[in-house]
């Protein structure tokens, strides 16, 4: 038989959650109060590293270590995570004398970690420890020790790693932030390591990457009849057509919106030429502009299509808001 369901005490649950936040916040604030020259030494050691920062940790500290390695790598510091247990069975060969090891352990006595510390020391690999055990084996082998000790775990039993892992994560983030600042790491650098993210798309996608080109660009000359202009617009599906001269320099643009406005005014379009109905001197962008700049132009002037020209004003492409949405720029 299934046991009787436990009755939830909502107030007790909320109180425990609030207490958890208080304990973990106090743990992080405690780091700030104890922070000293060792932190600067750790940053200097990682900055001088000619290889990679190799992050290691067991159990929950290992999970934190993987996140720290990922944060370092995405903010300009080459890093990777190596599992201590796997290191004892061959992965230690991944670590060279040009690397720096960032070892994480609350007690500083994790067996899988301490067994490889003498080997790393003999190889001359500099080590940075994030640990709550100031007198631990890890601290003794480390060149720099960062104190991540906490007074109390958030776990009501004071057993499950909670506040201690939060402190480790905060210390790792602090290292990453300090390093990216010293390196002069910029938005563009972050985008290059996150090409699939929203920031990467905004800072790395150029108009040339998303524009329509060649025969896909609707274009007519100024003396083109209105019927042919409409056929060109319908065939290319941009919702607009460029009007160009014999050298393909842009003279104007005609859009679905222009057509609607002319119809509402009752204008007889049957005998009109493209040059008669076009909007002269339209907004244009260069192919090497960022796609997000084209999006900003469309938003500013409340237009849905824009023509792409070269430095001489010659038509080389076109795009609309749908093209930008497909590229996830907007």
d(CA 149, CA 166): 11
d(CA 307, CA 212): 10
Report yes or no: 154 and 163 within 8 Å, Cβ to Cβ.
Answer: yes
Q: Calculate the alpha carbon distances from 265 to 255, 258, 262, 272, 321 in Å.
A: 16, 11, 5, 14, 27
Q: Which two tokens stand for residue 42?
A: 């750790």
Phi first, then psi: what are they for 6, rounded to 5°? -75, 130
- Quickly tell me which residue has 């903010």 as its tokens: 75
Q: What is the reported pLDDT for 189? A: 60
Q: Calculate the alpha carbon distances from 201 to 190, 193, 308, 318 in Å.
A: 11, 11, 19, 19
Which residue, among 136, 128, 120, 150, has the nearest Cα to 72 in the 3D structure?
128
d(CA 312, CA 293): 20
With a cut of 80, say whether residue 196 has pLDDT above it.
Answer: no
Q: pLDDT digit string (tens) for 47-71?
A: 999 999 999 999 999 999 999 999 9
At residue 251, the 3 state secondary structure works out as strand
At residue 6, the 3 state secondary structure works out as coil
Q: pLDDT digit string (tens) for 78-121?
A: 999 999 988 877 788 889 889 999 999 999 999 999 999 999 98
Share of the chain above pLDDT 70, in %: 93
Q: Which two tokens stand for residue 40?
A: 């600067």
CA 202 to chain centre: 10
d(CA 41, CA 103): 15
Longest CA–CA span in the chain (Å) reads 92
Which residue, among 104, 90, 112, 88, has the nearest Cα to 53 in the 3D structure?
104
Name the superfamily (CATH) of residues 207-326.
CBS-domain (3.10.580.10)
Q: What is the reported pLDDT for 9? A: 87
Same fold, 10-185 and 207-326: no
Could you say which of 3.40.50.10490, 3.40.800.10, 3.40.50.1820, 3.40.50.970 is the CATH number of the domain covering 10-185? 3.40.50.10490
Outline where DSSP puts E strands in 7-92: 53-57, 79-81
Which residue, among 254, 224, 206, 242, has the nearest Cα to 318 in the 3D structure?
242
Share of the chain above pLDDT 90, in %: 73
With a cut of 60, say whether residue 326 has pLDDT above it.
Answer: yes
Domain boundaries, the chain: 10-185, 207-326
d(CA 19, CA 47): 38
At residue 29, the 3 state secondary structure works out as helix
Q: pLDDT digit string (tens) for 200-222?
A: 566 678 899 999 999 999 999 99
What number is the average pLDDT over the span 136-159? 93
Q: Which two tokens stand for residue 223?
A: 């003396």
Phi first, then psi: what are they for 247, rounded to 5°? -95, 10
For 282, residues 6+ apart whose C-beta sits below 8 A from its C-beta are 250, 252, 253, 306, 307
- The edge-to-edge listing of strands for the beta sheet with 305-309 is 284-286, 305-309, 315-320
């Amino acid at each position: 038989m299934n046991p009787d369901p436990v009755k939830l005490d909502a107030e007790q649950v909320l109180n425990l959650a609030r207490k958890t936040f208080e304990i973990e916040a106090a743990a992080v604030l405690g780091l700030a109060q104890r922070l000293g020259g060792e932190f600067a030494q750790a940053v200097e050691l990682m900055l001088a590293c000619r290889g990679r920062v190799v992050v290691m940790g067991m159990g929950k500290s290992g999970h934190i270590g993987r996140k720290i390695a990922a944060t370092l790598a995405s903010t300009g510091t080459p890093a990777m995570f190596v599992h201590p247990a796997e290191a004892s069975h061959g992965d230690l060969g991944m670590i060279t004398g040009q690397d720096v090891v960032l070892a994480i352990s609350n007690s500083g006595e994790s067996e899988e970690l301490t067994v490889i510390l003498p080997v790393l020391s003999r190889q001359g690999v500099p080590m940075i420890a994030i640990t709550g055990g100031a007198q631990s084996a890890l601290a003794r082998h480390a060149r720099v020790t960062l104190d991540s000790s906490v007074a109390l775990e958030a776990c009501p039993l004071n057993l499950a790693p909670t506040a201690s892992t939060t402190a480790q994560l905060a210390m790792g983030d602090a290292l990453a932030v300090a390093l990216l600042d010293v390196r002069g790491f910029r938005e563009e650098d972050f985008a290059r390591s996150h090409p699939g993210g929203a920031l990467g798309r905004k800072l790395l996608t150029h108009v040339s990457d998303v524009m329509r080109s060649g025969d896909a660009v609707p274009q007519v000359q100024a003396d083109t009849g209105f019927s042919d202009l409409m056929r060109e617009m319908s065939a290319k599906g941009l919702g607009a057509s460029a009007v160009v001269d014999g050298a393909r320099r842009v003279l104007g643009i005609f859009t679905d919106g222009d057509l609607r406005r002319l119809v509402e005014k009752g204008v007889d379009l049957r005998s009109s030429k493209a040059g008669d109905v076009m909007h002269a001197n339209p907004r244009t962008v260069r192919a090497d502009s960022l796609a997000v700049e084209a999006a900003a132009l469309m938003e500013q002037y409340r237009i849905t299509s824009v023509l792409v020209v070269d430095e001489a004003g010659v038509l080389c492409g076109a795009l609309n808001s749908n093209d930008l949405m497909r590229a996830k720029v907007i």
